[in-house]
Amino acid sequence: MYRETREEGFMSKTTLSRRSFMQAAAVASAAAAFGATLGGCTKPSTVEVDDVDKVQPATEADAETSGRQEPLAIPDYDFYTTSCHGCITTCPVKVYVKDGVVRKIEGHPAGAENNGSACVKALNQIHTCYSPRRVLYPMRRTGARGAENMAFERVSWDEAIDEASDKWLEIFEKYGTYSMLSTTGGGGAYVPAPMLPAVSASCYSPNAFEPGAAQCFLPRVCVTQLMGFKMSDSIADNEVREPFKGFSKADKEAGITNDCEVLVLWGTQPSSSQTAKAGRAMAELRANGCKTIVVDPMLTPDAAKATIHLPLRPGSDCALVLSWYRYIFENKLYNEQFTKYWTNLPCLIDPDTLLPILATDVFEDYIAPTPDDTPVYICIDEETGEVSPLPYGMPEDVGVNPSVFGEATVNGKSCKTAGQYYKEEAEPWTLEQAAKFCWLDAAKIEEAIKLYVSPHQNGSDGGAGIGHGVATDMMECSSQAPIGTAGLDSIMGYIQMPGCTLTLTGVGAGGPGGGMGGAGLSLDSTNKWGKCIADGAQPRPTQSETTDFGIGYIMGATEEANRANHDSFASPEQDCFQRIVLDRLGVSNHRGLAHWYQSHIPAVRQAMETGEPWRPRAWLDTSGNKFAMLGSAGAWYNAAMGNVEYVVHQYPHFTSFDAELTDMFFPTEEWLEMWNPGSSQLNIETPCGSIIHLGEAVDTGRPYSRFLQAFYDKANQKLDSIVFNGTGQTLAEIGVQFPLVNVRSGSDESNKQQRIKQGAALLGLEAAEGESITEEQYRQAWKNNPVYKVSTPSDEYWTYGHYLVLADDGLPYGFPTVSRKVEVYCTAMVRLGQTGFPYNWPNGFDSPVDERIATFHGTYAPICVVPKAKETPDVGAGFEDYVMDFDADFPLALTSGRRVFFHHGTMRHAPYSRELYPVPFAYINPATATEYGISDGDWIEVSSRRTQGSDYDPSRAGTERAYSGEKKQDTKTAEPIRTIAYVTEMVAPKVVFMERFWNPECFDNSQKTKTGGWAECGVNVLTNAVDANFNEAFGSYTNRGFAVNIKKSTRPERVWVTPEEFEPFMPTATNQASEEAGSVMGNPALLTDVSSFDPVEVPASAGGPGGPM
């Protein structure tokens, strides 16, 4: 047992001590030994810096007595420059090959952010790729579903595609198009991002989701975009770039230095999450003198190294955010100039519409000095105290000194400024009150705020900013928290300035529209779907595909212009498309899901379970392990197992999802095999390509696109018998056919040619007149070439103040919002809650969202508010407005986060990761451990309401979809999970930290009996995607900050913990899912010559020109 090993590990301290003492006596040395100090017996001797020269060098004689020449063993490998796809950061790497087998991976020194580093995930790709548990051929389930019966047989690609498409056609004919569901997720190499949600849309179905949307990134990227930034403040998603400046070889050569003086990491942990890239940047930043503030319940590596760590109670983020506002407002620490003229906080708000009041509605005959697409609102003039128009323009030109705070009577109504709303919302959150609610020290909060505002207060050349991580995406506050943090940076004026996180790059190179789309282009945001409509597809009139607003809608254009734009798309297909957009399950209340065209995941699960309003029956999934990665995994298991009729899954390995549910499995490549995109870290580009190939695995883009094409071909013969459930008509009656939208395959043959073209350009290869570079030519030039390219010179890449550049209308570009300012008071959130604007424009919802889910005067909060938490530990009296209930049965709060060894659900079968992190250790404070009688290294069980049965009053659930009457099903999945306790001061008392997990060893052939491996240690058995207080705008369910209990337990069956147990996962073992004996790595039968490998031809028609993501 691991626990025994652990005890030996701790006992070894004494062992070492005793032995060292004996040894010390024997050699008559008085010096302290490494281990001797462990017993506290002697003090370690330290040779400090001053003593360096006093260390006596060994004599030459020492060397001579034993000295001999060690043989030099430089391997004769070839290498290829490519990029790791073990997570989303695409670090440039070099991959070394000999005899067709990858021998070594290392970081590429030219990587702009990784600077030569490669993390354990990158290195372990060798084991993942050559895993004996790779599935290298299409597989068909031959027995009953359920891991215990796990039986598959190898089939040909043709058989697999034919059979799966037949099964789908049967389901479509019987139940209509809404019976189809497509899902993805996972990140890294495995996600053909363009496919979702276009796959379901192509089949006239609204059912599509990935768990990494509403629970990861979507809320942050959506609200920041709606506030006026073409990027989020996420430091971990290739969004925030400014803190990474100045550390790359290219930047150093250009004399570019870093300007980031203070960086706040709010619920993000770069050193654990994206170790080689963002983690490396953190190390460089700190070494450069940048001060950091880390807001995280866990003592992450970045927290341990922070200037100030605020280990807040999981789930209390918004209260802390508001305490910062309160303190900054009260002490006038904000950037007054920026707040007055470049944010909408001075605007007077109509209390009925909750929107800014137009000057023309107040002042008769007022003629706006700005064009129709740039509204003039009203404010309170600080000089006169009177209500005044607030025209848009450079501060010196607008002729008014607007007050950020205040109240005035307008048209007979008492109206507050947007700033006043914020001030009042923050009013309860004094430092002391926030400290009490968040379990923090008030003085520490104050210290952090003072540090955060210091660059502005000091008039420094450098900047500050908040990097906002995934943590809040996984809680009730997924919309309110990032609105709050992006707003903080805004009122500080930390926008588009050196050293500030909310700063775009590359603008200098391509004008204001360059780089990430530019900051100030209020007229070029358009809808990516424009290119997807199959019939009559045409390029949008504007080119910047950076937002996902309503059909044809351009943020900032006039109503008239948008209407004309929309009408240009009129067609039966467009009607069907708009119908399915509105019909996405759960979107009627959680309207922000439309930003990425997602369904609300709990609503899909409920539909699967109840058949209402329709049941998804044909499921295509392209991610790693839905049973491990979806919240409330037990409920998902119960919903899916008996109700989904046919499941197709593609992935390089069998996961729990396959062990339990999949009917047809399509094997896909690992990133060493793919023609995946190369890396573009900052302004550095590196090439890529397929380096090796195994079995019949294919690129992630191929299986589903070929499968779908086969399905379309068959279904188009049956259009009169397939019903579009959106209208109840058959497709023949509507006059449409499959596909509704084109699905861009991730990497089909044309994509390969595109990669070769890109790579050839990087390599400086030029094709002869009328010819293109062949793969062979490319490979020859690519091999042993450390090539990289500076795509934009560093001095043009790092640019600032884009909003001040003058646009065609003579006004500064400003920000892409209706007001052309940063909307710290996010009017789009108000309208989103009221009508679904801008996503479903012009066919919005008829009524506002259910008031029970709304947190701001009946609609979505445009500012940071503290939403009610469903489950919390005991926070004491006085917080009843913010906490739903405390349940003494579950008195602890669970929080989560990545460990360095894994990305999402990946790498659980990578033996070198698992031997170092075999189970998702439960980090528990010693005081809590003592209270529960738990010792370090004990196996414990962790339970939540999801494992105990639910008898809660559904009216307490916060949404329209309250899942009323739903009871936890009494199945095997309701068991608490088990793991090993790590008793440590890294977390506060009453807090438990665990990483999500699954255990592929549970269905390994070496086991006598099998399970799916998702229920033993999987945190998602505990998370709440059933009756959580789903976030109002995005429906985010609760993966963190919910209530759990713990108690001492025993090791579960089948779970491996000691290094030796993982031997079946080593690449030396025989492949489990192939007929050839021997390991994958050394088996010539499984090694395919990449240059000749092309087992699956994807029909050209499956690849369309556009894609939603």
Partner 1 sequence: MSRRCIVVDLDRCSGCHTCTVACKFENELGLGNYRCDVIDVGPVGTHPNVQMYWLPIMCQQCENAPCVEVCPTGSSYRASNGVVTLDESTCIGCKSCLTVCPYSDSDGRTRPSVRWLRSDTNTVTKCTLCNHLTQNSDGVENEDDTYDVDHCVPPCVHNCCNGARFFGDLDDEKSPAAKAVAQAQSQGRAVHYLEADGAQPVACYILSKDVAWQGLDNSCVLYAKG
Shortest distance (Å) from residue 285 CB to partner 1: 11
What DSSP state is assigned to residue 712?
A: H
Shortest distance (Å) from residue 327 CB to partner 1: 20
Instruction: Taking the CA atoms of 660, 662, 665 and 666 in sequence, report the sign of the dihedral they define.
Output: negative
Of 21 and 1093, CB closest to partner 1: 21
Shortest distance (Å) from residue 93 CB to partner 1: 9
Of 96 and 175, CB closest to partner 1: 96
Dist. CA 808–CA 521, nearest whole Å? 11
Of 44 and 1084, CB closest to partner 1: 44
Of 32 and 97, CB closest to partner 1: 32
Both tokens assigned to 701: 């883009």
> Cα 111–112–113 angle (5° rounding)?
95
Shortest distance (Å) from residue 608 CB to partner 1: 36
Shortest distance (Å) from residue 498 CB to partner 1: 23
Dist. CA 156–CA 178, nearest whole Å? 29
Shortest distance (Å) from residue 45 CB to partner 1: 5
Of 188 and 634, CB closest to partner 1: 188
Q: Which DSSP helix (H) or strand (E) runs through 902?
A: none
Q: Locate tokens 């430092």: which residue?
A: 431
Sheet with 348-349, strands from edge to edge, namely 348-349, 413-417, 407-410
Of 69 and 1092, CB closest to partner 1: 69
Shortest distance (Å) from residue 251 CB to partner 1: 15
Shortest distance (Å) from residue 1067 CB to partner 1: 11
Dist. CA 539–CA 138, nearest whole Å? 37
Shortest distance (Å) from residue 688 CB to partner 1: 19
Of 36 and 196, CB closest to partner 1: 36
CB contact set of 678 (below 8 Å; sequence gap of 6+)? 82, 83, 90, 685, 686, 687, 688, 755, 758, 759, 762
Shortest distance (Å) from residue 687 CB to partner 1: 15
Dist. CA 437–CA 996, nearest whole Å? 27
Shortest distance (Å) from residue 989 CB to partner 1: 7
> Cα 444–448–452 angle (5° rounding)?
170
Both tokens assigned to 478: 């997924």
Of 132 and 1104, CB closest to partner 1: 132
Of 354 and 986, CB closest to partner 1: 986
Alpha-carbon torsion, ordered 1050, 1055, 1061, 1062, to 10 deg? -150
Dist. CA 1103–CA 563, nearest whole Å? 30
- End-to-end CA gap in the chain: 46
> How far lies 656's CA from each of 145, 624, 905, 1016, 1067, in Å?
12, 9, 11, 11, 21
Of 27 and 367, CB closest to partner 1: 27
Closest CA to 486 of 500, 505, 498: 500
Strands 260-266 vs 463-468: parallel, antiparallel or unpaired: parallel
Of 71 and 728, CB closest to partner 1: 71
> How far lies 39's CA from each of 19, 533, 624, 795, 1027, in Å?
11, 72, 46, 56, 51
Shortest distance (Å) from residue 283 CB to partner 1: 4
Shortest distance (Å) from residue 1052 CB to partner 1: 19
Q: Strand pairing partners for 260? A: 463
Shortest distance (Å) from residue 925 CB to partner 1: 6
Of 55 and 768, CB closest to partner 1: 55
User: How does 363-399 read in b/e, with b if 16+ C-beta sit within 10 Å?
Assistant: eeeeeeebeebbbbbbbbbbeeeebbbbbbbeeeebe
> How far lies 422's CA from each of 319, 861, 865, in Å?
13, 11, 9
DSSP track, 1077-1091: -SBTTT-TTTB--GG
Of 169 and 320, CB closest to partner 1: 320
Q: Strand pairing partners for 821? A: none
Encoded amino acid at 737, one letter: Q
